[in-house]
Amino acid sequence: MHIQSIPMWTGSSNNYAYLVKDNKTNDAVIIDPANPPEVAPVLKEQIDGGKLNLTAIMNTHHHWDHAGGNKKMLSQFKDLPVFGGKDCEAVTKTPKHGETFKIGSGITVKALHTPCHTQDSICWFMEDGDERVVFTGDTLFIGGCGRFFEGTPVEMNTALNKTLAALPNDTKVYPGHEYTKQNVKFLTTVLQTQPDPTIQKATGKTNEVDVMGALREMKNSM
């Protein structure tokens, strides 16, 4: 598979849309194309050049900076299905947890429901031969996780430490935002050399769910 990241709103919310293409057929999907003026020209150039057959829009959750561009995208790229949670703009298909489908002939997609940031959050796990990737939206970032807008620490603990942690170790993670720098900056305030005792001391908690909830609240206040 070929994956192209498309940065959006660089310098403010620092979102990513992702173009995922099956190399055998050129069939492709676009994930979270929230800002069509930045995304559509990238797609159109490749479609006009015969390098791309766009087959679907996919969303990780319903927030406007992930799914809010669906209708405008559909006005330019007609008759596309929209895969995503039930509250996503113009959604036509909400796969069940663990349900699979194909992109082209080579890429298998599995829907992983990860409610917490929103209750309709879905991470998209994809396999093509020995290549494995997951698109995590605002559930998992590099060095952090999303805010618990519609869920609880228990739900995020399940999403991160059960659902996503069960994926193969060589799975590459593609998050919905570029938050790495600020996440690492926060981590240095609570984590030094011995993770568990240091984090427990910083949060005053010992239970893993309570620790997660306390860390998220600490990060929210930064």
Q: Which of 22, 27, 32, 65 is catalytic?
A: 65
Burial of 220 (0-12, 13-18, 19+ CB in 10 A): exposed
- Domains contained in the chain, CATH given: 2-178 (3.60.15.10), 179-222 (no CATH)
Task: Encode pLDDT of 175-202 as tens digits.
Answer: 999 999 999 888 877 765 445 555 556 6
- Mean pLDDT over each residue of the chain, to the nearest integer: 92
Section 51-55 average pLDDT: 97
Q: What is the pLDDT of residue 218?
A: 75
Comparing C-alpha atoms, which of 85, 84, 111 is closest to residue 100? 111
Q: What is the pLDDT of residue 4?
A: 98
Q: What is the pLDDT of residue 79?
A: 93
Cα separations in angstroms, 170 against 33, 71, 134: 26, 35, 11
Residue 97 bears catalytic tag: no
Residue 63 bears catalytic tag: yes
Q: Which of 62, 63, 113, 128 is catalytic?
A: 63
Comparing C-alpha atoms, which of 213, 140, 219 is closest to residue 174? 140
Q: Which of 22, 27, 128, 177 is catalytic?
A: 177
pLDDT band at 69 (very low <50, low <70, confident <90, very high): very high
Judge whether 97 and 113 are in contact, CB under 8 Å. yes
Section 97-126 average pLDDT: 98
Q: Which of 22, 117, 120, 128 is catalytic?
A: 117
Q: What is the pLDDT of residue 141?
A: 97
Distance CA 21, CA 2 (A): 5
Q: What is the pLDDT of residue 170?
A: 98
Task: Encode pLDDT of 76-109 as tens digits.
Answer: 999 999 999 999 999 999 999 999 999 999 999 9
Q: Which of 61, 62, 113, 120 is catalytic?
A: 61
Residue 128 bears catalytic tag: no
